[in-house]
Amino acid sequence: MWKRYNPNPAGRSVGDCSIRAIAKALNVDWKRAFSLIVSNAYQMADMPSSNSVWGSVLFQNGFKRSAIENNCPDCYTASDFAEDHPKGIYVLGFGNHVATIVDGVLYDSWDSSQEIPQYYWYKGED
């Protein structure tokens, strides 16, 4: 299930998917998520949209990264992932996009439920 989520204070929804995803995953507002990511980007001398930069914010907050099985690389969607993970907080990496699942609900500014995730971040046991 997808639920519209856009905490961007200006209502923008392009280019800030990692900030929106971090905000949802860490239960902070958009500006706090932006600050965390930009701080790490500065320290790492990399762009805020870099997977390693926003991923480092999740890592610093107790998340672990895991790959998605390659059993069906073109058919396992974010919707499938959400159905398989009805409890917990997950941040899905799609390559050029990021979205968060909380308790089986996909939160994003647009319906990315049919996108194919490549990896995910999760908190705790999986």
pLDDT in tens, 51-90: 999 999 999 999 999 999 877 767 899 999 999 999 999 9
- Please report which helix (H) or strand (E) contains residue 3, including its range: strand 2-4
- Indicate the pTM of the whole model: 0.93
Residue 107 to residue 111: CA distance in whole angstroms: 8
Question: To the nearest 10°, the Cα dihedral for 46, 89, 109, 30?
Answer: -60
| Helical segments of the chain, H only | 17-26, 30-44, 51-60, 78-84
Number of folded domains in the chain? 1
User: What is the domain extent for residue 106?
Assistant: 2-123
